[in-house]
Amino acid sequence: RILITLCQPCSSIMATVAARATDSIHWVVVGLGNPWPIASRTSRHNFGLLQLERLANKLNATWKFSFSMLAYTANVEAGESRLKLVWPMVPYNATGFCIRKLLQNQRSSLEEWKESGGILVLHDDLDKPFFSSSFKNGGSCGGNNGLLSVSEAFGSNAFHRLRIGIGRPGDGKSRDPKLIVPYVLGKISEADEHKLIEMVLEPNIEAIIAYCAKSENSYKVNT
């Protein structure tokens, strides 16, 4: 058996390794944000990381730093699902670097992850009202440079997202970069943080677990 294994074509061996890598983990859950103290912990652009933080605490995650990925990772169990949580330690718009390294380290592709479960990206969304959230599978990145970075790493938009609404600045409809940049990097008030936790981040924990279990009747979120 050893001789047969060693004599397999390299492509076959790599395929076996990739299959084992993805068999052990059903879903990869990535939070988008700017690691603090580079940015304020409660800036709107960090809502994805805030959500990941709440999920990790609920699942008693133990973080380990990956020097190759420049990210903290944690393998956790959520019901019958096994998740790999990824906390990038790179700027928001460079998150794709961590994803690319993850795929290289696991010797896997987006298609293989889709077969075993999927990739779920937690992120803030200008086009959803504040204190709302919803799941989305694939589709446009909507001008979000963090999502574009992830999409480029995969070579595809076919990954799952949890969109956490931050609304738009001004009258709620502004697309002016001069208003949007300071808005997304701006810190929310302490009162809004408490409201965000109560109305969005805490309820989303069970929704994420249900979503990863593919229990479609269970992952209702505050839309």
What average pLDDT does the chain have?
83
**45 catalytically annotated:** yes
Mean pLDDT, to the nearest integer, of 113-136? 88
Percent of the chain past pLDDT 70, that is, above it, reads 81
When mean pLDDT is compared across 14-23, 127-136, 167-176, 192-201, the lowest value belongs to: 14-23
- Cα 136 from Cα 221, distance rounded (Å): 12
**pLDDT confidence tier of residue 80, bands split at 50, 70 and 90:** confident
Question: Over the stretch 128-173, which tens digit does the pLDDT of each residue have?
Answer: 999 999 999 988 898 899 999 999 988 888 899 999 999 999 888 8
Q: Which residues of 114-141 are buried (b: 16+ CB within 10 A; e: fewer)?
A: eebbbbbbbbbbbebebbbbbbeeeeeb
pTM for the model: 0.84
Q: Which residue of the set 26, 45, 123, 160 is catalytic?
A: 45
